[in-house]
Structure 1
């Protein structure tokens, strides 16, 4: 197995251009990345460029804060799928979670999951904003809502993935949900540590890869 097949190649900055999305698609094809993660307005463009490749398109919805109405998230998710998205990613409603309004947190997630059917749903916990008990509770809600992936971070908060939080997530969900570790993972060595901790996907920022010149290291062969 190649590490590139665990990679979620991400470009979500608000100033992203069409040219950058096209370049992202070409890089994803070149390195055989599993999926790209982009804003919903660019899904039609990316889907066109990736239609004959092995790389999937993941659209974020209700990004980056997850605080908009559930109805808005449902509409955006359904439209993204109509436009060619094969995965949907949403941020958990942190305000509801911190308020201990767990019923609303569950409904927010489950309504999106119900609307998109068998399409893969990833839920971002934003671990840098949560304490251990909140991470555990968020994981339990995600399991109950039948999500496909729990993602550590959106890239828009004060911190990214940590091995400590990843292990807490893994201990809570066991094998019920897959884990997507995102943020502060910039090289092969770090990526391997997360795979060894039990993650199934590694989020890798396209802008960061250009700055560090390390994008190609993630296509090296691994026995993971």
Structure 2
């Protein structure tokens, strides 16, 4: 395979390492936090109850801690999402990945979807909010409507997927999202992002952040291609 168009360090700077499976033990979480620190990635995205612990364990590592809001279904009330956001920020979260109310979006109630997003954005203040659309459940028109609502509400990112809906990021959906939002809104791909070639293809399509638990595999491959050597031993952290 050809050398990557991004260095391993550049890719690491775009990875949100996902630590979100409900069955993970504290030891499991710690192992993955240590992986994130070892690879020097941008951030981890942990379960809300793990935020304070992750912030403490990663202190001094340069790895930010993010979390999820209304995860994974997006059906909690706006008030609950706001309360969850405030608690996460109080615990030290730097970024919030919120799930839209998917049923409202599919119902065409875009004003309600926008208001839900805006409330979280306002609660977050200067902190980054990424809006998860769950594209596997949406038509193209619904994806466009969701992206437009997120942009109007002041979100910093639109994001493809939770990784829990049976479908993840696709090149077609990523391209549609990138075309829909303006240059001030970034696109995050998640769900099925497990290898370097996928990262490179999505980045070429305009993605600037990746949600994955395949961090070690991706970055080992990137480093190996830079040096022309075989990839080092990899840590399989599961799919997301």
User: Which of the five TM-score ranges fits, normalised by the shorter chain?
Assistant: over 0.9
- What residue in structure 1 maps to residue 187 of structure 2? 179
TM-score, length-scaled by structure 2: 0.86
Given that residues 82 and 120 in structure 2 are in contact (C-alpha distance below 8 angstroms), is that contact kept between their aligned partners in structure 1? Answer: yes
- What residue in structure 2 maps to residue 27 of structure 1? 35
CA RMSD, 1 decimal: 1.5
- What residue in structure 1 maps to residue 140 of structure 2? 132
Q: Distance in 2 between the 1:34 and 1:180 partners?
A: 13
Q: Which runs of 5+ in 2 are unaligned?
A: 1-6, 227-240
Match for residue 113 of structure 1 among 106, 117, 121: 121
Q: Deviations over 1:15-55 (max 9, x none)?
A: 11111121111100101111101111000110001121111
Given that residues 133 and 146 in structure 2 are in contact (C-alpha distance below 8 angstroms), is that contact kept between their aligned partners in structure 1? Answer: yes
Q: Deviations over 1:62-114 (max 9, x none)?
A: 11100010000100110011011000111111111111111110110000111
Q: Deviations over 1:175-224 (max 9, x none)?
A: 13111100112111111001111111011125xx6xxx7254365387xx
Q: Deviations over 1:102-158 (max 9, x none)?
A: 111011000011111001101101011001100111111011011011110001102
Q: Would the alpha carbon gap of residues 105 and 24 (structure 1) be closer, same or farther in structure 2, given more than 3 Å must change? A: same
Higher relative contact order (CA 8 A, sep 6+): 1
TM-score, length-scaled by structure 1: 0.92
1:1-224 map, 5 Å: 2=9, 3-205=11-213, 214-217=217-220, 220=223
How far apart are residue 4 of structure 1 and its match?
1.2
Aligned length, in residue pairs: 217
Q: Distance in 2 between the 1:139 and 1:52 partners?
A: 35
Q: Which runs of 5+ in 1 are unaligned?
A: none
Q: Distance in 2 between the 1:102 and 1:191 partners?
A: 31
